[in-house]
A = this chain, B = another copy of it.
Amino acid sequence: MPGAVPESYLTWVAATQPTAERADALPIYQSVHSIPARRIICRERDLHDAVPVICSGWAASVIMLSDGSRQILCFLLPGDLVSTTLLFEPRSHCLVEAVTDVTYGSFKRGELKELLLQHPSLFDQLSRAWIEEKERADQLIVDLGRRTADERIARLILSLSDRLARRGMTRVDAASAIEMDFPLRQHHVADATGLTPVHVSKVLSEFRRNGLIRISDRSLAILDPGGFRRIAHMR
């Protein structure tokens, strides 16, 4: 069960339940919650003694500025810990917001900490989550600091499609186009890439005109993965 999908919450459960009980009997979760789209899961400076893990749906961690502009730090997909720092301190330093309807489970921090010290495999898994979280943050820094709007947007889409693929949440069709659910509004893309919604619209239109992607009805297809990756990486 574990292994192939490092970020899956099933993996978390498997690691904390070495007796191989079923994933749907989740005594490790303190509780499971449902949140409708656009609602806030936790506020910055809120205190929580529980660590949320996304079970279904998409969410975003966001930092708000005093002038009303927003920066999305990362999108949270099913299986993601909301933030590894929440394992160590109860205060979240950013807002977590549901993009779609979301369900999430919560670990009690205290219990988790004990388990952590007892189960080396869980410890390793946590380290991997930490490393991955940090590497994504660093990549975003490079994207925002040194890449054009086209590159930023293409890389956001590709990074999401890679993360979804690892969860088995993408389809590849006959023409080898990669298709996935894509619930983000253009303002989400703008907030994540440091651009304006207007410019995001222009870039996506350009991508569409060039036959690179197709977007319809909250789903996105990468029609030319090779060409799209080329746009994403090179200057």
Interface residues of A (CB under 8 A from B): 63, 65-67, 69-71, 73, 83-85, 87-89, 93-94, 117, 124, 127-128, 130-131, 133-135, 137-138, 140-142, 144-146, 193-194, 233-235
Classify the interface of chain A: helix, strand, loop or mixed.
helix
Contacting residues, chain B, for A65 (C-beta < 8 A): 142, 146, 235
Contacting residues, chain B, for A94 (C-beta < 8 A): 138
CB-based closest 7 A-B pairs: A145-B194, A88-B127, A144-B144, A67-B235, A71-B145, A71-B142, A137-B137
Contacting residues, chain B, for A145 (C-beta < 8 A): 71, 144, 193-194
Contacting residues, chain B, for A124 (C-beta < 8 A): 88
Query: How many chain copies does the complex carry?
Result: 2
Residue of B nearest to A93 (CB): B135
